Structure 1
Amino acid sequence: MSGAGEYLLDGGRVDIASLPKVSLHDHLDGGLRPQTILELADEHGLALPEQTADALGEWFSTQADSGSLPQYLETFALTTGVMQTAPALARVAREFVQDLDADGVIYGEIRWAPEQHLERGLTLDEVVEAVQAGIDQGIEDAMRTSGRELRIGQLVTALRQNDRGVEIAELALRHRGNGVVGFDIAGPEAGFLPSRMGEAFDLLAENWFPVTVHAGEAGDLDSISSALLDGRALRLGHGVRLALDISIEGEDDANTWVSLGRLAHWVKDREIALELSPSSNLQTGAIEEWGDDLADHPFDLLYQLGFRVTVNTDNRLMSDTSLTKELSLLADTFGYDLADFEVFQLNAAAATFQSVEDREELADRISAGFDEAGV
């Protein structure tokens, strides 16, 4: 490695930030700029633990690095706290898209929970419209700044613990022609199986609306099973603990022999994408079964076994990261090269909630970009 965004290959340097990327798992309220939080906090009358952008950014990353998903989620009280007006939502969404563009993202799906942004009188529909207005502005900014065509979709998310699944599913369906491309559930995973929102998932299935579900991050195999069976999930949000259904039977210096359980086989054989977020998975304790270092992450095991792995940031503010940084970390840890990076992006392109024609076009754009980089 030669820096945060450059990859050294055969004596040449490639700027990872310039490579075309797909972002599938990226939370709107986890990607605010610290300076924006400072400015919006004044408008919202919200007290902050730090008073400079640098110090505030460091506070978020320190607080989030707890090894506990519930503690990690506590940091969102500040970010959602400054996202309670239409102008604030539009600004955050616009800057979010600008930052994706700077990271080389050409297609992204932004997930967020509208029910968290109603404290100042906005309706669910108004908050979705405000975020879409910001996304549209950000796309226009990207075209002027980088000249790249950037496509962004919203993933409307329901919070497991609030039992508003049907209401949020209906919201997603109302806006499916206005930027919303899919549905998600998030929040505390343990004790809140996807089956709890079965009526919402039934409604979405009846309307042929795509779903991804946070599963296999803090919960175990039963959570993943419920996401697939009850949620009809086409992707797994994180899904890292699927590795619990993979057994190491033996190994020597050259080979490792494994066996897959039925659930792992199903996910692999159906090519259900895993929205893996390496840095976040370390912070939340999602990989504590295997260790506490990135080298312990089952990412490489899943990749080598042929699962449809994708690389994601989860929350860029809390993890102090970007797709460029995540790819750099994986290259340092597992020795991946640009050909591997391309596989990860093509995996993500195939899993986007777009038409098959648009997925094929996106894959072509990715391959063309990597060809230019010398893959």
Structure 2
Amino acid sequence: MAIQEYVSGEEFKKLIDDKIINANSVKYIIKKRGIFPVCTSPTALSDLVHTIFFGSGMMTEVHQAMNVEQNNMKSTVVVISPKMTSTDIDFITGLSDEFVRLQRLPSSPYELKNICKDDGALSLQYCYEKQQRGRMRLADTKEVTLDVRITPLSDGKYKVNIRHEGISESKQFVSLLEDMVKPSEEEQFFSIKRITLSSLQKANKVDFFDNFGAYSHKDWYLVDITNVTLNKNEFVIDDDADEAMTELRENEPTGKLTGISSAVLTGGGLRNNDFVKECMQQNFIFSSMRYKFQHKSLPITVEIDITFKQTDLKINITRTWRTEDDGKDYITPLPGSEQDEYIDYFQNVAYSVYSELLAKQRAGVEVLNKDK
């Protein structure tokens, strides 16, 4: 929501002095407006902004950056397929009407808000109370708000993009979608396509992460793999299943992560890596991989976590950097609007890679059937 009142220079200065907002975030925001601070310390920067009058747009972006610093964006992706004939009403209109109907139901365990159609897409908010274990009665629940946007894909399906803070909060809205699918196929308005590892054959579970890293981007190039998670049981991919999980982090001493990163960056193929071969023989599968991308024209680097923890595909921004005038990269949380744009892009890439692997599997099945 836009800041509608004047924020005094004294108040803005205090935000930086008290480190409520990252000084690099402030530099990034004001540079976009043609102001290039030559100061290097947060104290000098706070003294500088104290003397400048900033408007609503600038302070709204500062406010968004403060919130983003606490929680970089996380997202879950599912796909829905319309089941309509040519005489049916527009799909987005019909879907919007259905959400409005659900919005008016009394005694629902959730609340739907801000349902809005815009340029062939649909956006809404899904709110519910989440139990917090181990908290005193006054704080044993908190309100969770999921931002949902449904947009068309090139194959005639629609992407459901769910933004959330916690790792498992999106399950509530996915459950609502499943409840909206009628038991009778003739009555179904849409069907749901969950993007999960279980849909892929064993080799393709590895190829998904390999092909995502090898994807050719117009604006980005891959510079490193910074984290990998492997699970022993492909049907139980959960943060709580620690005994069945192996995680490789940056600077791990065995060099296994370096080998995986090299296999992706050089195009050598993950399945040709000795450690990956060993994992596959022991029935370990990748459940997440973290990629570090650098922008080709902007001084921005982002770390994108591609994960199937909690079953559905999740794409999260974990860290962002900005290259400053001294040539060094500094961790700088990006405004929500930019994170939103980048997540949306990498979601589409992941879906494209996933769809190609499914098509390859189907083609293989058809060939086998013909040979019988």
TM-score, scaled relative to structure 2: 0.30
Q: Which has the larger radius of gyration?
A: 2
More strand by share: 2
Which fold has the larger relative contact order, with Cα–Cα distance below 8 Å and residues 6 or more apart in sequence? 1
TM-score, scaled relative to structure 1: 0.29
More helix by share: 1
